[in-house]
Amino acid sequence: MERDTDDTEPLSPAPRAVKPPIRSTSEAWRARYEGSFAQDFLRGLAAVDFGDRIIIFGACLLLSVLPLIIVLSAYAGHHIEDDIAQHLGLSTKGDHVVEGLFKASVSGFDLAVFVSLLLSFVGTIAVARSVEVIYERAYDHPPLGRAIGWLRCLVWVVFVAAIVIGDAAVGKTLRDDPAGAAVISVVEFVGFALFFWWSIHFLLAGRETWRAVLPAAIATSGFWLGLGVFAAFYFSSSIVSDSKTYGPIGVTFTLVTWFVAMGAVLTLGAVFGAVWHRRKAKSTEAGASPANS
């Protein structure tokens, strides 16, 4: 008697679940970094030549703006060392060091003084021009024509001079108030935000809307106040240390560091705001595209 053969084939084993490849920590961070705000921000800093721009800005301030302010302050009988000590948050020792450096006296007005003022003023316009270039590169705009660009920089310099004078007067008044520190912080944040808001829109000749440049103005104002806090902790001891190590010229090293930091604040705020605006615009367009399809 023949045995019945079983024609059924044996069941094949169930396929194993394929485990996703294990990525290293560096690959995970790289995937997170791609397309992130940090990547766009660093690209923006590279686009404006961050390192070169802030050094040029600081050097121009030291060689052009500071001499102009010193001479004009001497004619007006104003003590520039008081303004520097106030903005740097210097201690009593630091204040004395700065007072020993700035002892400008003007005996008369001659050709040498006129040439010095003229060169310093031209250099001040160049500082404004460098700020304009930072904004143009941050927002990816071509340079303005030479005539219109320099004219706007001239207007900007005059406006900045008025702001500096007003800030010195208002700051001195508010510091005498019992709640001076808190009031000054709020007033300075709002005031600087409004100033940078106008500056970016004006130096870009209206090529970006007020709404588009608002994030950069707010960011720059915040960075500016942060620089003031940092200055109070760092420059007060640094200026005393440099004066002991290098003599009176050491104060200049601290000042140029402060000026370079100002350029960094302007550049970081502009790039931060421009990147923020572009990413927000892209997300808005991406959200509106499915609805329109």
Rounded average pLDDT per 10-residue block, the chain, 293 residues: 51 55 70 85 93 90 79 62 64 67 61 77 88 94 88 90 70 57 77 94 94 95 89 78 78 85 95 94 73 55
Token representation of residue 90: 């210097």
pLDDT score recorded for residue 209: 94
The answer to whether the predicted template modeling score (pTM) of the entire model surpasses 0.85 is no
CB 68 within 8 A of CB 124: yes
- Burial class of residue 52, CB neighbours in 10 A (0-12, 13-18, 19+): exposed
In this prediction, residue 123 carries a pLDDT of: 85
Residue whose token pair is 């499915």:
290
Q: What are phi and psi of 44, to 5 degrees?
A: -65, -40
Position 1 scores a pLDDT of 46
Residue type, position 115, single letter: V
Report pLDDT for 274: 95
Domain ranges of the chain: 46-279
d(CA 124, CA 63): 9
Dist CA 1 CA 110 (whole Å): 135
- ∠284-289-290 over CA atoms, to 5°? 120
Q: Is 205 left (phi over 0), alpha (psi -120 to 50) or beta?
A: left
Q: pLDDT value at position 8?
A: 52
- CA 100 from centroid of its chain's CA atoms: 30
| Nearest Cα to Cα of residue 195 among 231, 227, 225 | 225
Cα torsion angle, 283, 223, 207, 140, sign: negative
Give the list of residues 6+ apart from residue 95 with CB closer than 8 angstroms, or none: 81, 85
Three-class secondary structure assignment of 151-204: HHHHHHHHHHHHHHHHHHHHHHHHHCCCCHHHHHHHHHHHHHHHHHHHHHHHHC
CA dist 148 to 61, 133, 143, 179, 199, Å? 23, 13, 10, 44, 15
